Amino acid sequence: MASDTVYGSWLGGLIVCTGWGVPQEEAGPLAAVVLSSLQGAILLARVQRGVSVIHTVTERISLLAEQAVRT
């Protein structure tokens, strides 16, 4: 399925965060959380006709990434 290929490539691209200090065993799960959170935020932003939810989600993603680097 084409969408599976696209999402797979996005996840693969996000997994490069191991180069930013995220432990390898955390990179895949973190990438999945980032991608699904952003997709959900985009959907909510469209429904709410505003971008505040995107700002909120990206702030939380940043905190999760910082925590992953510290572990």
Of 2, 3, 1, give the one whose Cα is nearest residue 39.
Answer: 3
**pLDDT 10s digits, 8-39:** 888 888 887 666 788 888 888 998 999 999 99
Separation CA 24–CA 18 (nearest Å): 6
- What is the pTM assigned to this prediction? 0.82
Mean pLDDT of 41-70: 94
d(CA 54, CA 40): 9
Give mean pLDDT, residues 45-52: 98
